[in-house]
């Protein structure tokens, strides 16, 4: 076999392997991704064997510590629906009542069981909407005077 033909065969084999590898990466990326669902969406889901990425706020007063981990409830942001969650794994320091969380869960009876070490607390925003349509500025659009409370 002449050297030019060998190079061409090697190139075709290498390009074929690269295309197969890229296709495998794309397939695993899209099949492994899951969108975040709130408790109301979770209760409406049809397949109890799936794993979901649950997001919402921890219900005030619902956290119960026990030997195996913690039990708590997660509610929708509007507060209309909540679901019970059992979690065993590392608990982040900022985890507390009212904090927004994300956790990977699967259904086990009437409770949702969190995957080990999947609990993440969302950082609360330091910038709150004060309800002031002018964004804290005086009506004339100028910035507040020096020394005046803003």
CATH of the domain at 85: 2.40.50.140
Residues 76 and 52 in one domain: yes
Flag whether 146 is in a domain.
no
Mean pLDDT, the chain, rounded, equals 82
Is the pLDDT at 39 greater than 50, yes or no?
yes
* Residue closest to 103 by CA, chosen among 50, 36, 28, 48: 36
Residues 103 and 66 in one domain: yes
Query: Which pLDDT value is given to residue 32?
Result: 61
Give the C-alpha separation, 39 to 130, whole Å: 28
Residues 46 and 64 in one domain: yes
The residues that bridge with 70 in the sheet, in sequence order, are: 65, 87
pTM for the full predicted model: 0.61
Segments forming the whole domain that contains residue 23: 1-33
Flag whether 134 is in a domain.
no
Query: Which pLDDT value is given to residue 37?
Result: 86
Is the pLDDT at 131 greater than 60, yes or no?
no
Flag whether 145 is in a domain.
no
Residues 1 and 24 in one domain: yes
Q: What is the mean pLDDT of residues 59-80?
A: 90
Asked whether 70 and 63 are in contact (CB, 8 A), the reply is yes
Is the pLDDT at 47 greater than 50, yes or no?
yes
- Counting the structural domains of the chain, the total is 2
Flag whether 150 is in a domain.
no
Flag whether 148 is in a domain.
no
Phi then psi for 7, rounded to 5 degrees?
Answer: -60, -40
Q: Which of 13-22, 46-55, 110-119 has the highest mean pLDDT?
A: 13-22
Flag whether 2 is in a domain.
yes
Residues 4 and 45 in one domain: no
Query: Which pLDDT value is given to residue 132?
Result: 53
* Residue closest to 53 by CA, chosen among 119, 125, 111: 119
Is the pLDDT at 147 greater than 60, yes or no?
no
* Residue closest to 75 by CA, chosen among 101, 104, 53: 101
Residues 108 and 96 in one domain: yes
For the chain, list the strands marked E by DSSP: 36-37, 51-58, 64-66, 69-75, 82-87, 100-108, 111-114, 120-121
């Amino acid at each position: 076999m002449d050297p030019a033909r060998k190079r061409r065969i090697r190139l075709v084999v290498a390009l074929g392997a690269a295309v197969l590898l890229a296709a495998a990466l794309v397939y695993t990326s899209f099949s492994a991704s899951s969108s975040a669902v709130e408790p109301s969406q979770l209760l409406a889901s049809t397949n109890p064997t799936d794993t979901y990425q649950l997001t919402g706020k921890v219900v005030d007063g619902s956290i119960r510590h026990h030997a195996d981990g913690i039990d708590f409830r997660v509610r929708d942001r509007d507060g209309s629906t909540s679901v019970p969650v059992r979690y065993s794994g590392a608990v982040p320091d900022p985890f507390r009542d009212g904090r927004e969380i994300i956790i990977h869960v699967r259904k086990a009876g009437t409770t949702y069981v969190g995957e080990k070490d999947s609990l993440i607390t969302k950082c609360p925003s330091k910038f709150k909407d004060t309800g002031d349509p002018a964004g804290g500025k005086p009506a004339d659009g100028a910035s507040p005077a020096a020394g005046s409370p803003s």
